[in-house]
Amino acid sequence: MKTALGVYFTREDYAPFWLRLLVDVIDLLAFGAMCAALTVVVAIVIPVSRSMVNLILFAWVATAFYYFVILKRSRFRTLGYRLGRIKIVGLDGQPPSYFSLSLRLMFGMLGPLNWLVDLAWLSGDAHRQALRDKFASTYVAKEKSQTAGQGKVVFRYYEILFYSFLFREVAVDPTATSTRRSGKRSSRSRTTSATGTTPTPAQPAPGLKTITR
């Protein structure tokens, strides 16, 4: 049986916490504006009734699916993703499936507290994946980033809020990532030697500790 392979990025190439937070706020505002506009149009065209309420709810759900699934997967991306210059990909480095993005959307609709815990998780994750990314097997990376290498797709065990989960992840080759980082440091050294300045080494981002087995 052939082992599935996936890709990964260096930690610096994943979208960091504050950028993800800003992008989410922009997208939520854009989605809210579209829903408000649709609500006004429906309220003007259709008299107040139960049918009008059902139509408005249907329009909101359809808008959410189009904006957070179809548009996000396309090359145009959402407004937040374009302004933040980030992209979403699957573990294979390709655009994620509609099913993955639909699962990701449903996870994000569970409530504001869930959304905060979701984002807080990525600070301590090796791939800077939020919980919704874990469930959907997706990465959120910077727009111009390139993959750092390939690895086997494995299942890892996590305990989150007293619940146990198995998530698909890509096993990272530490040799490949260290080689790429050393190459970046060498490039910076050659660049700064002409100016006489010394680059400040990057510090690892603080975060939560994951439990794997």
Rounded to whole angstroms, how far apart are CA atoms 103 and 107?
6
> What are the phi and psi torsion angles at 185 (to 5°)?
-65, -40
> What are the phi and psi torsion angles at 19 (to 5°)?
-70, -40
Rounded to whole angstroms, how far apart are CA atoms 101 and 116?
19
Q: Can you give the pLDDT of all 213 residues of the chain as single tens digits?
A: 456 899 999 999 999 999 999 999 999 999 999 999 999 999 999 888 898 999 999 999 999 999 999 999 999 999 999 999 999 999 999 999 999 999 999 887 776 667 777 878 888 899 999 999 999 999 999 999 999 999 999 999 998 878 899 999 999 877 655 545 555 554 444 433 334 444 444 444 444 444 443
Rounded to whole angstroms, how far apart are CA atoms 12 and 141?
9
Tokens of 111: 């409530």
Global pTM? 0.78
List CB contacts of 3: < 8 A, sequence separation 6 or more. 152, 153
SS3 label, residue 123: coil
Domain edges within the chain: 11-145
